[in-house]
Amino acid sequence: MNPRALIIDDNPVIRRALRLHLEARGWAVVEAVDAFAGRAAFFRERPTLVILDLLMPINEGIDAMQLAALIDDEGSGTVLLVLSSFASREDVGRFFAARRIRIFDKPGADNPSFDELLSCVDGIFRELSITFH
């Protein structure tokens, strides 16, 4: 059985790009379009990996920072990676550094690819492969 990843992002282009990259690397992928749907998917799927966008316009009472804290506090062994255009903000960095959660810049003009994020995901997959064999 492949390890399961949950991608929570309101941008369908980002979700699709990540899904294609992760599935090519052996992950089973579930998607959620906002923090509220992501929370439900997290508890339903119990994924090994969650990639979470920080800024999503629709949250139905739970924002991404609250969801990150909830996933981190759950202590279920899920690896949480945060993807955001706000990764370089000091206050955001401090929040995630205090929780030992890695945060990555969302692709844009200064960062055109997911290379750093995917390199981290590949390392997680290698560790899981060793654990499962």
Query: What is the predicted pLDDT for the residue at 61?
Result: 61
Helix residue ranges per DSSP H, the chain: 12-24, 35-45, 64-74, 90-98, 115-132
State which amino acid sits at residue 97: A
| 54: three-class secondary structure by DSSP | coil
Sign of CA dihedral 91, 62, 35, 98: positive
Query: What is the predicted pLDDT for the residue at 97?
Result: 76
Q: Name all domains of the chain by residue range, CATH numbers in brackets.
A: 4-132 (3.40.50.2300)
Comparing CA positions, the residue from 56, 22, 62 lying closest to residue 39 is 62
Query: pLDDT by residue (tens digit) across 29-48?
Result: 999 999 889 999 999 999 99
> Which residues of the chain have a pLDDT value below 70?
58-62, 75, 85-89, 92, 107-113, 128-133
Task: Pull the structure tokens for residue 80.
Answer: 């949480």
Give the number of C-alpha atoms closer than 13 A to the C-alpha of residue 101, restricted to the C-beta side. 31
